[in-house]
Amino acid sequence: MILQLPIACYAGNTSGLITKDEIWNDPQRTLKIWVLSDIQPRNNEDRDAFKDAIIDVNNNIPGIEMAVVAGDIANRAKPETYDWYLSTRKLSYIKDWNEIAGNHDLKTDLGKLFREEINQNFSYSLTKGNILFIFMSDEERGKPTEISDETFNWWKDLVVANQDKIIVVVTHAPLEGSGIPFSRFKDRQIIDSGRFTEVLKKYKVDLWLSGHLHLPHYLANVVQKEEYNGTIFVSISSIRPEFLHIKNSESRVITFLCGWDYTLIQARDHDRKQFDESLSSVYQLSKKYNCE
């Protein structure tokens, strides 16, 4: 459930209204995650966009504990591209990085370099407190996201067995039926999405994060689907600017608050070095975040 409250202040305890800075920017009380996607540089300007986004976060968004990259680190998988990515990533104060492979990471060599340079596992999970993060890479070359039945069954088993946790799923493309723009088109969705949506009707997944579309956040923002137990689908725009900077370099910051069952999802414009408050909202989760 989305809270219909101004982004500047929220009702949260018996003492009344508390400001956003007080509640959402206390590193002792929050888990803050930087979520980015589609870095895939074509030229030096695109490489600079990733570096500039890191500098923006370093200078203006303290307290981020983990970064999530929702695929397409490379435009074409080459050793020098991943070497550049890893060396640029080291400029960030964030030490915990978690990536998946997108369709462009598989384009040249079916993901061999990604496995060697970034992560040998295409699918994996981790926990932060009582939050379970499930990561699923593209597994076949091509524009849509293809996830094998073996990986689907692994995902389903994790979801069913962890209903006591807040569950966050990360894929490159969105699910068909998510409500994310263009996700009804085959080359912009997870193939055979019905496998996943049937599970979502019965079991709770709180957040589903995806990239791939390169659309600005004002066109592809956040969609909550009640028919899927209220799953919140979050579109992650590209770090790479598009269309002569008609679309700027963009990402998300997602914050969980200790002892609360709410999450703040913010849209960051790295060219302007600011959050778009009109696209930032607080959503209710299925459970309180346990930071112990």
Condensed to tens digits (0 to 9), the pLDDT of residues 120-131 reads 999 999 999 999
Number of neighbouring beta carbons within 10 Å of residue 87: 9
What are the backbone dihedrals phi and psi of residue 287, each rounded to the nearest 5 degrees, phi first?
-150, 160
The pLDDT of residue 209 is above 60: yes
Residue 133 is given by DSSP the state E
Q: How many CA atoms lie within 13 A of 224 on its CB side?
A: 15
Instruction: Give me the DSSP letters along 162-200.
Output: TTTSEEEEEESSPPTTS--TTTTSGGGSBTTTHHHHHHH
Q: Tokens representing 236? A: 């992650």
Could you give the percent of the chain with pLDDT greater than 70? 93
Q: In this predicted structure, what is the pLDDT of residue 95? A: 97
* Spatial contact of 39 and 240, defined as CB atoms under 8 Å apart: yes
Mean per-residue pLDDT over the chain, rounded: 92
Structural domains for the chain = 9-284 (3.60.21.10)
Model confidence over 34-47: pLDDT tens digits?
Answer: 999 999 999 999 99
Number of neighbouring beta carbons within 10 Å of residue 110: 16
Q: Kindly tell me the burial class for residue 161, based on how many C-beta atoms sit within 10 Å of its own C-beta (0-12, 13-18, 19 or more).
A: exposed
